[in-house]
Structure 1
Amino acid sequence: MYPSSCSSLGFLLLFSLIPFALSKTNSQDVAALNVMYTSLNSPSKLDGWKASGGDPCGDSWDGITCSGSKVTEVRLSGMGLTGTLGYQLSNLKSVTYFDVSKNKLQNQIPYQLPPNAAYIDLSKNAFTGNVPYSISLMADLEHLDVGNNKLNGQLTDMFQKLPKLKVMDLSNNQLSGDLPQSLSSLKSLAQLFLQNNKFTGKITMLGDLPLDELNLANNKFTGWIPAKLEDINNLDTDGNNWSKGPAPPGQKKAANAGKGGGGARISTGVLIALIVLGVVVIAALLIIVFFSRRKSSSPSSFLDDEEKSHHQNNRKSNNNFTPLTSQELSGHNPPPPVLPPHLRQGALRESFESSNSVDVKTPQKAPSQGYNKQPPSDLAQSLNDNEFASRLNSKKGGGARAAVPYALSDLQSATASFAAGRLLGEGSLGRVYRAKYADNKVLAVKKIDSSYFHDSNKDGGGEFSEIVASISKVHHPNIVELVGFCSEQGHNMLVYEYYRNGSLHDFLHNSGDFSNPLTWNTRVRIALGTARAVEYLHEACSPTVIHKNIKSSNILLDLDLNPHLCDYGLGTFHTRTSQNLGVGYNAPECTTPSAYSMKSDIYSFGVVMLELLTGRMPFDHTKPKSEQALVRWATPQLHDIDALAQMVDPALRGLYPPKSLSRFADIIALCVQAEPEFRPAMSEVVQSLVTLVQRSSMNMKDDLAASRRTEDLDY
């Protein structure tokens, strides 16, 4: 009996293994489709599909086409599908055709789509959010259709590397803002559909595209239509705010273009009258600007405003936050000025710039459109005579946007001669000042200490122009935008957006009783947005940008608490200081600043995630000695569920999902490993955070008032 039983058992085991031996489909493809099926609410109408395992190629799953063991096409159009697309589409590396149009899919388009797809159709669903930046890396993409959804916001400047794109449909959404300049790089684009959105600005970047069909109807475009577009067979420009006067060379009046063309010619007399009227208006404006500038040039007028209201009224305002101090290491600068008592606590606020930003500045919007639209008159002289500006213009790449030069006298006036009351922060490279203009525009000005420049001429002009040109090429929704620069009389300054909400460091460590704590969902959203910013620097920029100074005080928050990474592109300076760049943030291998690598950035980002998890500072000398170094104290406890619950920031008051917390801790543990080769790439960190969000069904805009107790959350 025993041998017979043993033989039977072996026979059964052999049969149980046959499905795996005969499975034709690549395991990564299977896993991605399993997750997709679950995210689509496991629809029974998809014959053959499973939530776990299966053989899509061998069993002929609905809508799936294979070549050998690889899934190559996903065709699920018009099947009444609901839910989302899941978070593993990037694993479908052999998919070239992906069509889920005409369904009822919701939430944001997944951050990563099949990376080698040539055809993507997501149209006629209910997707929200924006077009994902990862599309910029899809070099084989030929057809992109996201029309007839609920997309909103401004397009990221992300079209530089899509040489094969022939058809793009963004129509019938709620997209807004100016078109990104990188659209001019789409040299194969034949059909472009932008109708029924809220786009603004000019369309000059479309002038040299080989378009056969262009629909711009029902937006808010202005200016003139490039003359080169008039030969397009199918052109619709109705429903915009085109200019009516004489068109500049190379452009034509909208009245002569589009299906609804038609307008009358302007007579010579009317034209002369318009020119005379324009001259009178311009003269009046110049007089107003002259007197208003004289009136506002006194430093005391700025100081009165700032001293009386900015620092004292923040705590009395309706805002749920109080931007206070973020700890910065002093550099080789002279000692900071002595501040009035009521300013001392907030003196070292951000390490960098900040910005008042409900409408967050996006990559496609030129700095001159967001701030200082009409700089003082002496700026014109600066533009002509400033040798630095000429050097910068000669260095910028074809796809880079020129930074706006600011005159030194202009910045001195706006900062009250760099008064103590305007000091925002002091970092290892210099001080940051708040610049306020008469029209209430606010900017942040970073003065870089001249001792960091190698130029023999002592002013750093040539080297500084290289840095400005490099930083000007960096455009991402989670990265602070460079607005302009100044290089005069030995001063080298960078001008950035200003965020009144301050830094993540402020919220976590300096808010006290005057602000609501960051909710768990908001903390995850901040981590994900920051990770995407670093991923862009590491993997999308060419050449690669190593940040070298990632810390919570360099993560600025807009009014919606979205993160914006700052202090990027200054790694050259960080290698020249013997300082520890950030106590508690440096990876073990970084015994000198020159030892920094991308994996060192990963470590520093992991420390920021630890701050979000625990509410503690990276190094806190007020704690017991065994708890002062955050990484050393926290790392052994990250995989202990009971210990993890004790580590969580008390400010959360238990309002967090345990499973999400545990997954967050797992990502931290990977990032802060002592050996750099074992730390993941930032793209993997992004994907892990996206997975966390997807699995948690997290509403990323929940706030504390809307939070529920742990036992009520659906995780």
Structure 2
Amino acid sequence: MNLNLLGFLIFSLGFLTRVQTKTSSQDVSALNVMFTSLNNPSSQLNGWKANGGDPCGESWEGVKCSGSSVTEIKLSGYGLSGSLGYQLSNLKSVTTFDMSKNNLQNDVPYQLPPNLDYLDLSNNQFSGTIPYSISQMKGITYVNLAHNQLNGQLTDMFQNLKKLKQLDVSNNKLSGELPRSMESLSSLDTLYLQNNQLSGKINVLAGLPLKDLNVENNEFNGWIPDELKDIDNLQTGGNSWSSGPAPPPPPGVKPKKKPQQEGGGGTNFSHWIIIALVILASLVAVALLVTVIFSRKRRFAPTSHFFDEEKGGRMFTPRASQELSTDSRTALRSDFKENEPLYSPGSIDTKTLQKSPSSGYKPPSFDLAQSLNDNEFASRLNAKRSTSARAAVPFTLTELRTATDDFSPSQLVGEGSLGRLYKAKYPDGKVLAVKKIDSSLFEGTRPEEFSDIVNNISKVHHPNIAELVGYCSEQGHNILVYEYCRNGSLHDFLHVSDDYSKPLTWNTRVRIALGVSRAVEYLHEICSPSFVHKNIKSSNILLDLDLNPHLGDYGLANFHLRTSQNLGAGYNAPECTTPSAYTMKSDVYSFGVVMLELLTGRKPLDNSKPTSEQCLVRWATPQLHDLEALDEMVDPALRGLYPPKSVSRFADVIALCVQTEPEFRPPMSEIVQALIRLAERPSMKEDFGHSRRTEDSDY
């Protein structure tokens, strides 16, 4: 009897161990797709399967795990062919990904594992461009893409890579100038750029802590900065360097200095001490002056708990306000290259769950029932970002009433079929967006329905989707609290003119379309279960200070079944005669209408236009493939400053989206790829100043 019991316990323990080590379904699916894309190399990859399996429990070749999550994939030199598949973004725990020294082909997938520390795809046959998803890997320290056939330019993708120590893109076919964002690589000590077709100057590297730099056999010109000449291992041959002494820096610009090494001269040290003392004295004087002015203003200012951060109009960035203030092509190009990268971390998700950091919050100086202290508020905003399983946090009705001035009309941001959106403002300038859902929508529903909605929405995290901060469900009020986008909605930018608005550049319009398409792709194809948005329109696309788009009103589709209206007029797909008829293809149609707004600057329905032009889709669709007509359709606010072929391809994507038959509309993932190809064209980066009326030969 005891032996039987012992045997049963041993069997149970083994069974439980197998259950506990079973690999997460997302990781299994990603590796299944990867195995299939690698042409099912069962002879090289022991244990791998095209369907199912347990990579962690069965010790698949080259795979290491921690618990039920895959953490390392090392398959260097296995003679693998094919490609890497399309589900690598599901491998959220993978920190090491080494596929070097194989025969892999096609483009490097833009959706790489999002949390990599080590990436090695060298010595393959990859073509296409360097995937922009790398720009979101804030913890990555090593990137090796050498010895492939990568082409195109290095885009402005390095702003967030503060920990990157080694970058090797040598022996490819890369061209163009080094992007200014390389100045942000504050930890980079090894950089290999040799044997490409890179051009321009290398001044952006002057301030980096490099110890090993190879730029041989490119098309660089100008002078090698003095700061780089002290590098331990510097190789610069095979370029077109200028001879003679380098010119002095422009007036008012001091040469860049690398951090002073130990043992520096005492003269320099004393020099910097004097400068520091002068700066400190200046800062003290300025601080005293500001204090005096502020105290005088407060003495006479009306009492208010809120700091109006938007007094005088919306806040704008140079990328919306500078380019079109002049017809100068030179000014436009300068602004595009220096201030307006085609991509930005906020607009490219690469199907990852990247979040932007949130600042802390200081409690109001007045008594607020159940108010938050500094740590509580900061933890509310940051707790959601610290783990993969994050939940929205509760806000009290009292604090939201205080922050919105009791839901005052003066704090009303907008109103739709689901309720009203208010601005919640705190004394230190922190602003949140508060969506107060119409209570009538909850009549006859289960009491826990709002909790279900909050749980579903709180699982959605994407840089192009408005981030849910918290919620409130008290006294019959059901409220959602979001991060606030200070530049308002896309609708306002395109259709509401005021003294402060400036037209969006073509570059920014493409970037907005790409960001929104990625957001919808995430809802449709990445979320599980998937979301049909049912309310995609320009007023639900919010723009932050950098004019990056954030799609709002997601996860509320069920409410549209209870309202007399669904989308704003002009966004409905033809098949959507009732709210219940909406599908993902209906979302694609609505997105196409938004793209038409970006292209033409017109509203979806405009009764002020002639009868034949009042419905935007009906008016525009027959002209989308007519180059001459298309030129006349482009938003006049652009003043002809756009690449004509880019506009034509943008119109091609629109035509696919707004087709009458839903089955002919492509899935959102294909739209994303089309916009990526459009955005990566060299003409988008080099010749934004041209219009069809001035020059068409380069397109």
If the TM-score is normalised by the length of the shorter chain, which range does it land in? 0.5 to 0.7
Matched, 1:692 2:678: yes
Q: Which of 432, 447, 456 pairs up with 2:436?
A: 447
Deviation at 1:304, TM superposition (A): 8.1
Change (3 A) 1:601 1:97: same
Matched, 1:603 2:594: no
Change (3 A) 1:173 1:153: farther
Aligned to 2:394: 405
Secondary structure, aligned partner of 1:464: helix
Deviation at 1:438, TM superposition (A): 1.2
Change (3 A) 1:133 1:152: closer
Task: Answer yes or no: is the 8 Å Cα contact 1:358–1:558 preserved in 2.
Answer: no
Cα distance in 2 between the residues matched to 1:173 and 1:480: 34
Deviation at 1:699, TM superposition (A): 3.0
Task: Answer yes or no: is the 8 Å Cα contact 1:121–1:144 preserved in 2.
Answer: no
Task: Answer yes or no: is the 8 Å Cα contact 1:403–1:482 preserved in 2.
Answer: yes
Which residues in structure 2 correspond to 1:257-296 (within 5 Å)?
none
Q: Per-residue CA shift, 1:292-315, capped at 9, x if unaligned?
A: xxxx9xx98448865xx845x117
Deviation at 1:153, TM superposition (A): 5.7
Aligned to 1:172: 165
Q: Per-residue CA shift, 1:478-497, capped at 9, x if unaligned?
A: 11111111111111111111
Deviation at 1:708, TM superposition (A): 4.7
Q: Per-residue CA shift, 1:344-367, capped at 9, x if unaligned?
A: xxxxxxxxxxxxx99999956599
Task: Answer yes or no: is the 8 Å Cα contact 1:501–1:557 preserved in 2.
Answer: yes
Cα distance in 1 between the residues matched to 2:511 and 2:442: 37
Structure 2 residue runs of 5 or longer lacking an equivalent are 1-36, 39-75, 89-96, 146-153, 168-184, 189-208, 210-297, 322-343, 374-379
Q: Which of 504, 522, 536 pairs up with 1:518?
A: 504
Aligned to 2:662: 676
Instruction: Look up the equivalent residue of 1:412 and give its one-letter code.
Output: R
Cα distance in 1 between the residues matched to 2:346 and 2:665: 35
Change (3 A) 1:371 1:134: closer
Task: Answer yes or no: is the 8 Å Cα contact 1:321–1:511 preserved in 2.
Answer: no
Task: Answer yes or no: is the 8 Å Cα contact 2:521–2:668 preserved in 1.
Answer: yes
Deviation at 1:414, TM superposition (A): 0.9
Aligned to 1:430: 419
Aligned to 2:648: 662
Instruction: Look up the equivalent residue of 1:314 and give its one-letter code.
Output: G
Task: Answer yes or no: is the 8 Å Cα contact 1:122–1:147 preserved in 2.
Answer: yes
Task: Answer yes or no: is the 8 Å Cα contact 1:100–1:121 preserved in 2.
Answer: no
Aligned length: 433
Secondary structure, aligned partner of 2:370: helix
Secondary structure, aligned partner of 1:616: coil
Change (3 A) 1:596 1:64: farther
Secondary structure, aligned partner of 1:131: helix
Which residues in structure 2 correspond to 1:576-615 (within 5 Å)?
576-615=562-601
Secondary structure, aligned partner of 2:453: helix
Cα distance in 1 between the residues matched to 2:587 and 2:680: 25
Change (3 A) 1:695 1:381: closer
Change (3 A) 1:675 1:129: closer
Aligned to 2:370: 379
Q: Which of 525, 547, 572 pairs up with 2:558?
A: 572
Q: Per-residue CA shift, 1:615-664, capped at 9, x if unaligned?
A: 11000010111110000111111111111111111111111122111111
Instruction: Look up the equivalent residue of 2:396 and give its one-letter code.
Output: A
Cα distance in 1 between the residues matched to 2:354 and 2:643: 37
Q: Which of 453, 459, 462 pairs up with 2:448?
A: 462
Q: Per-residue CA shift, 1:147-169, capped at 9, x if unaligned?
A: 799964669xxxxxxxxxxxxx9
Cα distance in 1 between the residues matched to 2:390 and 2:449: 18
Cα distance in 2 between the residues matched to 1:304 and 1:65: 63
| TM-score between both structures, scaled by the size of structure 2 | 0.53
Matched, 1:630 2:616: yes
Matched, 1:121 2:120: yes
Change (3 A) 1:134 1:611: farther
Structure 1 residue runs of 5 or longer lacking an equivalent are 1-27, 30-62, 75-88, 102-107, 136-142, 156-168, 175-193, 198-217, 219-295, 323-356, 383-388
Query: Could you say what the CA RMSD is over the residues aligned between the two structures, in angstroms?
Result: 4.9
Aligned to 2:628: 642
Deviation at 1:594, TM superposition (A): 1.1
Change (3 A) 1:98 1:635: farther
| TM-score between both structures, scaled by the size of structure 1 | 0.52
Change (3 A) 1:547 1:315: closer
Secondary structure, aligned partner of 1:622: coil
Matched, 1:490 2:489: no
Aligned to 1:111: 110
Secondary structure, aligned partner of 2:659: coil
Deviation at 1:129, TM superposition (A): 5.3
Cα distance in 2 between the residues matched to 1:650 and 1:195: 42
Instruction: Look up the equivalent residue of 1:620 and give its one-letter code.
Output: D
Instruction: Look up the equivalent residue of 2:82 and give its one-letter code.
Output: T
Task: Answer yes or no: is the 8 Å Cα contact 1:549–1:567 preserved in 2.
Answer: yes
Secondary structure, aligned partner of 1:556: strand
Task: Answer yes or no: is the 8 Å Cα contact 2:593–2:604 preserved in 1.
Answer: yes
Q: Per-residue CA shift, 1:180-235, capped at 9, x if unaligned?
A: xxxxxxxxxxxxxx9959xxxxxxxxxxxxxxxxxxxx9xxxxxxxxxxxxxxxxx
Cα distance in 1 between the residues matched to 2:306 and 2:540: 29
Task: Answer yes or no: is the 8 Å Cα contact 1:130–1:152 preserved in 2.
Answer: no
Aligned to 1:131: 134
Deviation at 1:172, TM superposition (A): 2.2
Cα distance in 1 between the residues matched to 2:87 and 2:354: 30
Aligned to 2:64: none
Change (3 A) 1:424 1:303: farther
Deviation at 1:127, TM superposition (A): 6.3
Cα distance in 2 between the residues matched to 1:366 and 1:378: 30
Change (3 A) 1:130 1:366: closer
Aligned to 1:72: 82
Deviation at 1:100, TM superposition (A): 8.7
Task: Answer yes or no: is the 8 Å Cα contact 2:469–2:483 preserved in 1.
Answer: yes
Which residues in structure 2 correspond to 1:321-340 (within 5 Å)?
none
Which residues in structure 2 correspond to 1:530-545 (within 5 Å)?
530-545=516-531
Aligned to 2:182: none
Change (3 A) 1:557 1:571: same
Change (3 A) 1:173 1:655: farther
Task: Answer yes or no: is the 8 Å Cα contact 1:485–1:494 preserved in 2.
Answer: yes
Cα distance in 1 between the residues matched to 2:119 and 2:505: 36
Q: Which of 408, 419, 432 pairs up with 1:419?
A: 408
Q: Per-residue CA shift, 1:239-294, capped at 9, x if unaligned?
A: xxxxxxxxxxxxxxxxxxxxxxxxxxxxxxxxxxxxxxxxxxxxxxxxxxxxxxxx
Q: Per-residue CA shift, 1:374-398, capped at 9, x if unaligned?
A: 588743799xxxxxx9xxx9xxxx9
Aligned to 2:21: none
Change (3 A) 1:666 1:172: same
Deviation at 1:515, TM superposition (A): 2.8
Task: Answer yes or no: is the 8 Å Cα contact 1:585–1:607 preserved in 2.
Answer: yes
Change (3 A) 1:505 1:303: farther
Cα distance in 2 between the residues matched to 1:65 and 1:563: 42
Instruction: Look up the equivalent residue of 1:172 and give its one-letter code.
Output: K
Cα distance in 2 between the residues matched to 1:699 and 1:301: 50
Task: Answer yes or no: is the 8 Å Cα contact 1:423–1:434 preserved in 2.
Answer: yes
Aligned to 2:66: none
Change (3 A) 1:619 1:434: same
Instruction: Look up the equivalent residue of 2:405 and give its one-letter code.
Output: A
Change (3 A) 1:606 1:73: closer
Task: Answer yes or no: is the 8 Å Cα contact 2:306–2:425 preserved in 1.
Answer: no
Q: Per-residue CA shift, 1:657-713, capped at 9, x if unaligned?
A: 22111111111111001111110000000011111122344239x9xxx74555389
Change (3 A) 1:319 1:152: closer
Task: Answer yes or no: is the 8 Å Cα contact 2:346–2:464 preserved in 1.
Answer: no
